[in-house]
Homo-oligomer: A and B are copies of this chain.
């Protein structure tokens, strides 16, 4: 009997009517002969309300108490969905994180799952009961409630699918799958039938917020087949699978862009050992993440120019920090630019095909778009360009790599 884990996000269980619709959808899967376990998020808005309470009570709140408060949201949905399933004649029972148990480390509010004892759930499924599991939560070794961070219910679902040896993990959300690009910008973007774990990870890291990154890592490590699909329509979504499963591999699977970038350039940095540590050490200590880094050899010989990007929200803080450290670092001048965008092309096909990057640079040059910074990974090429060209670049590259819908 095929075994499925189905996860429903906050908008899918936003009110009583939607919870009933979810129950009906689960019943259809059960009636079709599947063994089903369900993972639920909190009702849309519930988590924000709870976080607001916590912030109002004590801004510097204890993260273990924060977890006690916010975990209650998923608890409510789990109980309600179990009732809704029973109402349709489907045997069902709720499980909270500590009841299973889903054991995590003690890093409250961003805990990692260490181990899941799925034996009770497994037994229930064998007996024809649908377990409804509160997502996002676990229990630490000291018996306290933990939560897994934003999007943590995705991770709960994938981890349970691995522990239950499920044939597939369906993630129901408010989009109906993973697209070749953002359909709001690239009108000819189309839904991908399949995408590899690696591509999905790169997509997530460059701004396509479909799945929590950790859930994709977990799926990749445990070989869990994941499907992303819509809660509101009954159409197939996008399968996230291992590379071997992809039959016709396109060279490029997606074009993404992120406006959340700002560029900083340090001019005439002394070209000597330890200077990079002198620059990036203070930034790391201030919790400022640095993304792209490029170092140019300066014409003057003994100095170099260094360019890197930070999140737009961190720009002012980063520049102030660098100016404070000017004498200790030793550089001539600092320039910054918030009007930039990072455009990326992603595809596992790059591994075997040279020339993808060159094709990208040529296509952008043909449109008169200047490239400011370039970084590459095994399956991704990213360029930083003037923000004004974001949409033009995305559409151009979408066409260049043959991704446009017919």
Known contacts A72-B72, A76-B50, A94-B68; decide if A83 and B57 are in contact (CB<8 Å): yes
Which residues of chain B are near A96, meaning CB under 8 Å? 68, 145
Nearest-Cβ distance from residue A132 to partner chain B, whole angstroms: 9
Q: Is A98 an interface residue, CB under 8 A from the partner?
A: yes
Q: Is A34 an interface residue, CB under 8 A from the partner?
A: no
Binds B, one of A59-67, A161-169, A341-349, A354-362: A59-67
Nearest-Cβ distance from residue A136 to partner chain B, whole angstroms: 13
A53 in contact with B16 (CB, 8 Å): yes
A 1-28 contacts with B by CB, 8 A: 16, 19-20
Q: Is A273 an interface residue, CB under 8 A from the partner?
A: no
B50 in contact with A87 (CB, 8 Å): no
Q: Is A99 an interface residue, CB under 8 A from the partner?
A: yes
Q: Which of B62, B75, B80, B145 contacts A57 (CB 8 A)?
A: B80
**Interface hub of A65, A71, A84, A86 (most chain B Cβ within 10 A):** A65
Q: Is A320 an interface residue, CB under 8 A from the partner?
A: no
Q: Which of B50, B60, B79, B87 contacts A68 (CB 8 A)?
A: B79
A 27-71 contacts with B by CB, 8 A: 50, 53-54, 56-58, 60-62, 64-69, 71
Q: Is A82 an interface residue, CB under 8 A from the partner?
A: yes
Q: Is A78 an interface residue, CB under 8 A from the partner?
A: yes
A57 in contact with B98 (CB, 8 Å): no
CA distance A134 to B68 in the complex (A): 11
Known contacts A61-B86, A62-B86; decide if A53 and B76 are in contact (CB<8 Å): yes
Nearest-Cβ distance from residue A25 to partner chain B, whole angstroms: 15
Known contacts A20-B57, A57-B87; decide if A69 and B62 are in contact (CB<8 Å): no
Which residues of chain B are near A78, meaning CB under 8 Å? 68
Which residues of chain B are near A75, meaning CB under 8 Å? 68-69, 71-72, 75
Query: A65-B79, A99-B144 given. 6 additional CB < 8 A pairs?
Result: A50-B76, A54-B83, A57-B84, A61-B83, A62-B83, A67-B79
Q: Which residues of A contact B (CB under 8 A)?
A: 16, 19-20, 50, 53-54, 56-58, 60-62, 64-69, 71-73, 75-76, 78-80, 82-84, 86-87, 93-94, 96, 98-99, 143-145
